[in-house]
Amino acid sequence: MKLSIVRSINTKRYPSLIGQSIEDLETLSTSLGEPSFRGRQLFDWIYRKKVDDFTKMTDIPKLLQDKLKGYPFHPLNILKTNSSSSKETQKYLLTTKNGMTIESVLMIKKDRATICLSTQVGCAVDCSFCATAKMGFVQNLSVGEIIDQYFQLERLSDTKITNVVFMGMGEPFLNYKNSIAAAKLLNHEKGINLGARRITISTAGIIDKIKKFTNERHPFRLAVSLNGSNHDQRLKIMPITKNQSFQNLLEAIKTYTNQSRKRITIEYVLIEGINNSKKDSLKLIEILSQIKCKLNVIPYNEINSIYKRPTEERIHVFLNPFKNASFPVTVRWSKGQDIDAGCGQLATNIK
């Protein structure tokens, strides 16, 4: 009996500090018998100075440093790093404390270093063209697990991260609370202080959460994966369209752009014979001309599925009608396909 009590005390798991808000750290300080301003000092060390060693926190008294000893900083561990042949793309495999693995990608181009964060282990949305979908949904990531990807990759790559996209594994809007809290922590002016315009949250189109995001007036950028030019076509490759109709999604997108006055990014995975006809280009132009948007075409990155990436020539044929479109169009010639780090190629633990 006694022994088991001792064991349970010894193995008590303290929450990781990365992921805690300024208020959480104030509460932690007072619970340890210290004034709440110590929590604000901790926030400054962890998020602004990016220090993960209590002994280096010179204005934190030794007594508090000792009380904090059992608290880990990082909720994640790095398992593996992979660089693509161009070195511009690096893929990282990380593990959570309960042994789940997730992937994060760092893309470096000139003076821009963008990290692609995962928000879930696996995904419930089940898009037929996406590797993550094949894992099914496993679990949500905590706030700390989401932003620790940022801390770990910045440290390991020795690169200052300038942009964050929530486009890794999972559907951020099905882990809404943690994804928004993570974005707020990245943006916090007393901490990491990454500009809100450098933070993009990408959703497969969870309509009630797009509405919530609109009403809450978050400053972050929003991207929606449309991936089809009409309801039936989208339904075939994105089964969520059944309950999130194409028309309702467009309405929610319009309301967002009208209320926020922000430009939304519309993502469009281009798949041969599925959504890349001339009719699709023309329909998309018609739809998107009414929306304050930017179109981002992502030629399909092949995974183990029935779909094919259009040839470069076919991609250009699809893009041609957009020359006179009223909105900007970009093409993501996805990076890191050789290491399966391109869009939609992230998957771990597939049995």
What residues act catalytically? 103, 343
From the list 47-55, 134-142, 287-295, 296-304, the region that binds ligand SAH by CB under 6 A is 296-304
CB of 226 to ligand SAH, least distance (A): 9
Per rule CB under 6 A, count of chain residues that contact ligand SAH:
19
Q: How far apart are CA 234 and CA 17, in angstroms?
A: 41
Q: Does 200 bind ligand SAH (CB under 6 A)?
A: no
Q: How far is Cα 204 from Cα 227, in angstroms, rounded to an integer?
A: 9
- Helix, strand, or coil here: 117? coil
Could you say whether residue 130 binds ligand SAH (CB under 6 A)? yes
CB 348 within 8 A of CB 120: no
Give the interface segment with ligand SAH, choosing from 124-132, 181-189, 274-282, 319-327 (CB under 6 A): 124-132
Told to check if 171 binds ligand SAH by CB under 6 A, we report: yes
Indicate the helix (H) or strand (E) that contains 272: none
Contact flag: residue 182 with ligand SAH (CB under 6 A) = no
From 81-89, 98-106, 276-284, 341-349, give the range in contact with ligand SAH by CB under 6 A. 341-349
Closest to 69 in 3D by CA, of 111, 11, 14, 119: 14
Query: Any contact of residue 202 with ligand SAH (CB under 6 A)?
Result: yes
Q: Which is nearer to ligand SAH, 68 or 133 (CB)?
A: 133
Q: Cα(52)–Cα(102) distance, rounded to whole angstroms? A: 22
343: contact with ligand SAH by CB under 6 A? yes
> Residue number with the shortest CB distance to ligand SAH?
344
Binding segment toward ligand SAH, per CB under 6 A, in 154-162, 240-248, 319-327, 342-350 = 342-350
> Which listed residue (20, 114, 200, 227) binds ligand SAH by CB under 6 A?
227
Which residues neighbour 6 within 8 Å (Cβ) at sequence distance 6 or greater?
none
Please give the backbone phi and psi of residue 271, each rounded to the nearest 5 degrees, phi first: -120, 130
* CA atoms within 13 Å, Cβ hemisphere of 179: 30
Q: What are phi and psi of 87, to 5 degrees?
A: 70, -5
**303 near ligand SAH, judged by CB under 6 A:** yes
Whole-angstrom CA distances from 324 to 119, 230, 316, 320 are 37, 21, 14, 9
Residue 135 binding ligand SAH, by CB under 6 A: no
Residue of the chain from 54, 92, 129, 213 that contacts ligand SAH (CB under 6 A): 129
Q: Is 340 in the site for ligand SAH (CB under 6 A)?
A: no
Minimum separation from the CB atom of position 277 to ligand SAH (A): 18
Buried b or exposed e, range 247-274, using 16+ CB within 10 angstroms: eebbebbeebbeebebebbbbbbbbbeb
DSSP per position, 140-188: EPPHHHHHHHHHHHHHHHT----EEEE-SSS-GGGSHHHHHHHHHHHH-
- By C-beta, is 203 or 229 nearer to ligand SAH? 203
Pick the binder of ligand SAH from 122, 191, 228, 344 (CB under 6 A).
344
Q: Is 225 in the site for ligand SAH (CB under 6 A)?
A: yes
d(CA 114, CA 27): 33
Among 54, 73, 256, 300, binds ligand SAH (CB under 6 A): 300
Q: Which residues sit at the interface with ligand SAH, rule CB under 6 A? A: 125, 129-130, 167, 171, 202-204, 225, 227, 267, 269, 298, 300-301, 303, 343-345
